[in-house]
């Protein structure tokens, strides 16, 4: 019995040390943030119905530039982007790639996009900042009314 208690105390002390060290490292570990939407059921909490819209764009060659402009819809109440339709590229000479489809409780007066200058075949990369664009009741964005907001590095 004499050795049993000593052994038990040694094991307990070792476990306490292990837990203390583990907690120290756990506190320094980066926290993962969930990038997916909340689980809030917008239809249930607003009593409005979601509808799907394909967004049309009226081009602005000055905004698009000589290289091209890539945009990504930024989700936010009352709309979110459909997973496979969140990115679009506009290029010189009326060139485009992809389209944007959103699901909304109602059409807002404006949409926000992440934007960057990019060529047609550019690999996906970080956007430059926020682009705020007016949205008509017919789900048309007139790009001449878009305003470039802050760049991400300014936040």
pLDDT of residue 35: 53
Q: What is the pLDDT of residues 58-88, one digit of tens each?
A: 999 999 999 999 999 999 999 999 988 999 9
Token pair belonging to 20? 């203390």
CA distance 65 to 91: 8
Q: Could you tell me how many helices (H) and strands (E) the chain has, helices first?
A: 3, 10
Q: For the chain, 155 residues long, give each residue's pLDDT as a single digit of tens.
A: 555 555 545 655 554 555 555 555 555 556 665 555 555 788 999 999 999 999 999 999 999 999 999 999 999 999 999 988 999 999 998 889 999 999 999 999 999 999 999 998 888 889 999 999 999 999 999 999 999 999 999 99
pTM: 0.73
């Amino acid at each position: 019995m004499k050795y049993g208690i000593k052994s038990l105390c040694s094991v307990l002390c070792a476990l306490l040390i292990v837990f203390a060290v583990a907690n120290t490292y756990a506190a320094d570990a980066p926290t993962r943030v969930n990038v997916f939407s909340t689980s809030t059921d917008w239809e249930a909490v607003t009593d409005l119905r979601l509808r799907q819209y394909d967004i049309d764009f009226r081009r602005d060659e000055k905004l698009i530039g000589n290289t091209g402009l890539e945009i990504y819809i930024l989700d936010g109440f009352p709309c979110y982007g459909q997973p496979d339709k969140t990115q679009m590229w506009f290029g010189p000479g009326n060139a485009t790639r992809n389209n944007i489809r959103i699901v909304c409780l109602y059409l807002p007066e404006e949409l926000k996009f992440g934007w960057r200058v990019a060529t047609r075949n550019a690999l996906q990369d970080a956007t430059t900042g926020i682009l705020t664009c007016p949205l008509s009741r017919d789900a048309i964005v007139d790009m001449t009314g878009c305003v470039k907001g802050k760049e991400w590095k300014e936040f």
